[in-house]
Amino acid sequence: MSERRPYRVLIRLGAPVVAYPWIAGDALLEHLAFARQLGRRQYDLPTFTPFDRRALGPDPYEDVVYSRAGLRFASVVEFGPEPKFGSLDYYSRVDEGLPKRRVRLGFGPYRNWQMRWVYRAAEWARIWAWGRPDLAADLLGDLVGLGNDTRVGWGHVLDVRVEETDEDRSVVWEGRATRPIPVRFLRAWSDEALLAWKPPYWHRDSVELCAPPDAEVDFGGPPRRVLRVRRNELLG
């Protein structure tokens, strides 16, 4: 079995990615492992109900991302080079030729709606992680799209490459968070917000007061709660 080590995932994109504000790298790998283990059975699970993959028995992908105290060593997805943000409106309108007095437009199949999605016009995406790069490479062979609405081509993946690295950027790099980190793990931090920090990211029990990605942070020893400090005092 391969040892855990730092690695990075490089994804070449063929279309803009619908995602805001970020995509959790560990959630992407977790999703691929979940789909690999369950196959089509995943579509039979109850909606909005957390599922523990340990119920399936030994997890062959447990070490794809190392975890300590619940914190997974994987960054959020980076996009480049300096991608521009854009927005696109999706909407549904009833046919102008229909007799509107007989069609309910507030609900039901003819309901009028509009939704604005934010996209990133990026050429590549990158994830930094600590774990088993061989397992990551195996799982990422299943990745065909990144972000939302991949079924119509958004975030189309052209190529994926996994490389071992000498530097670990999975949680912190040059004094800045590369993923959401609960403030109870930190001695000091420059910014904070209520954020999901562990899978399942959509569940309310995963939300906690965290330092967001790119915030200045200082672990500085055993985790303990301290007062937030100003940015210019953080690492001085």
Q: What is the mean pLDDT of residues 2-17?
A: 93
The amino acid at residue 58 is: P
How much is the pLDDT for 47? 83
For residues 23-30, give the mean pLDDT: 95
pLDDT band at 149 (very low <50, low <70, confident <90, very high): confident
What is residue 100's predicted lDDT score, i.e. its pLDDT?
A: 57
Residues 230, 150: Cα–Cα separation, whole Å: 40
Task: Tell me the mean pLDDT in the region 116-129.
Answer: 92
How far is residue 63 CA from its own chain's centroid? 18
CA distances (Å), 191 to each of 105, 186, 214, in order?
Answer: 43, 12, 9
**Rounded mean pLDDT of 49-74?**
87
Look at residue 231 in the predicted model and tell me its pLDDT. Answer: 37
Q: Give me the sign of the Cα torsion angle 178, 181, 186, 192.
A: positive
Segment 163-173, tens digit of pLDDT: 999 999 999 99
For the packed helices 25-38 and 133-140, what is the interaxial angle rounded to 10 degrees? Answer: 70
Alpha-carbon dihedral 38, 41, 45, 49, rounded to 10 degrees: 10
What's the mean per-residue pLDDT of the chain? 86
Q: What is the pLDDT of residues 181-236, one digit of tens each?
A: 999 999 999 999 999 999 899 999 999 999 999 999 998 754 444 434 433 343 33
First to last CA, the chain: 43
Q: For position 152, what pLDDT does the model report? A: 86
Q: How far is CA 137 from CA 7, 9, 12, 23, 65, in A?
A: 10, 8, 14, 19, 12
Instruction: Examine the pLDDT at 23 and tell me if it is beyond 50.
Output: yes
Please count the helices (runs of H) and the strands (runs of E) in the chain. 2, 16
What pLDDT is stored for residue 99 in this prediction?
A: 61
What the chain holds in terms of domains, given with CATH numbers, is 1-85+118-170 (3.30.70), 86-117 (no CATH), 171-236 (no CATH)
- Report the pLDDT value the prediction gives residue 2, as an integer from 0 to 100: 67
**Residue 224, pLDDT score:** 42
| 3-state SS string for 113-126 | EEEEEEEEECCEEE
For residue 112, how far is the Cα from the chain centroid? 31
Instruction: Round to whole Å and give the CA distance between 13 and 78.
Output: 12
Examine the pLDDT at 27 and tell me if it is beyond 50: yes
Closest CA to 133 of 73, 201, 53: 73
More confident residue, 219 or 174: 174
* Predicted confidence band of residue 49 (pLDDT cuts 50, 70, 90): confident
